[in-house]
Amino acid sequence: AWGLSPSSVQAAFLKAGISVPSRAGTPAVPRQSRRRKSVAIAYEAGQGDGAEPRRARWEPPRWREQLQRIRQMRSGRDAPVDEMGVHRCYDTSAPPETKDQVTSAAMLRLRRRGLTVDSVLQMDEESLGQIIYPVGFWRNKVKYIKQTTAILKQKYGGDIPSTVEELVQLPGVGPKMAHLAMHIAWDSVAGIAVDTHVHRISNRLQWVKKETKSPEQTRVALEEWLPRDLWKEINWLLVGFGQQTCLPVNPRCSQCLNQDICPAAKRP
């Protein structure tokens, strides 16, 4: 069918190192050669576009319905993240950085002291620690703030970097905060900001193809299938949902609109 002579077929087998005995001038194909082998298919001119066939993108079942119900539950925008999240913890004329109740209070105290690169650089570590306490790991964060502020002064003229790659190089800044900073400071959606709430809920809803062990694994898994126009929304949506309903311990499944379609729901 391909216009190959028997001798050409035999030569091809011999080149591949397969011994093919001949009988009456016709190559005898070994029985095992009937088994299909995984080979790359090269399109000939005029057959296809030369690209591999596109695979159907994996996505979790009923995720759109689950998402819409979460939107409905979050329509009041009355979770801690809505009042004291990162987007609420900064002045429009000053840099961001924070997290909910405790960190929001720390940010307020810092702003009262004058939250600028120069003021932080002039502040000693003990004074800075007293201001941000009782933020978790406050001693480490004092060091991170001082180191980061010095870098911002020296390398960025008192501003913050405008790429995720540069942001995660700053002391104490991980992917979640880097993506939040990109969203809020630069209005750029470079990826999904995944914290413990987003990580937990994504696994409970099985929005990941297989269970993930860390927020960063969850971010990669979500970005493989979640439409990009939802990346900016998903953080605040799931964080608030996790603070009010899908709690880390004893989730309020009886109050959740997704109880009947959630794989992890505790049903009565």
pLDDT of residue 100: 63
pLDDT of residue 212: 98
pTM of the full predicted structure? 0.70
Smallest CA-to-CA distance from 127 within 104, 102, 110, 108 is with 110
Active site residue 176: yes
pLDDT of residue 150: 97
Please list the residues that pair with 23 across neighbouring strands: 26
pLDDT of residue 101: 78
pLDDT of residue 265: 95
pLDDT digits (tens, 9 = 90+) for 107-164: 899 989 888 999 999 999 999 999 999 898 999 999 999 999 999 999 999 999 999 9
pLDDT of residue 52: 53
**Segments of the chain scoring below 70 in pLDDT:** 1-55, 84-100
Residues 113 and 154 sit within 8 Å (Cβ to Cβ): no
CA atoms within 13 A on the CB side of 235: 26
Q: At what angle do helices 196-204 and 231-244 cross, to 10 degrees?
A: 90
pLDDT of residue 196: 96
Question: Which domains does the chain show, CATH number per domain?
Answer: 60-87+191-267 (1.10.1670.10), 90-159 (1.10.340.30)
pLDDT of residue 115: 86
pLDDT of residue 45: 39
Q: Which residue among 176, 213, 232, 266 is the active-site one?
A: 176
pLDDT of residue 103: 85
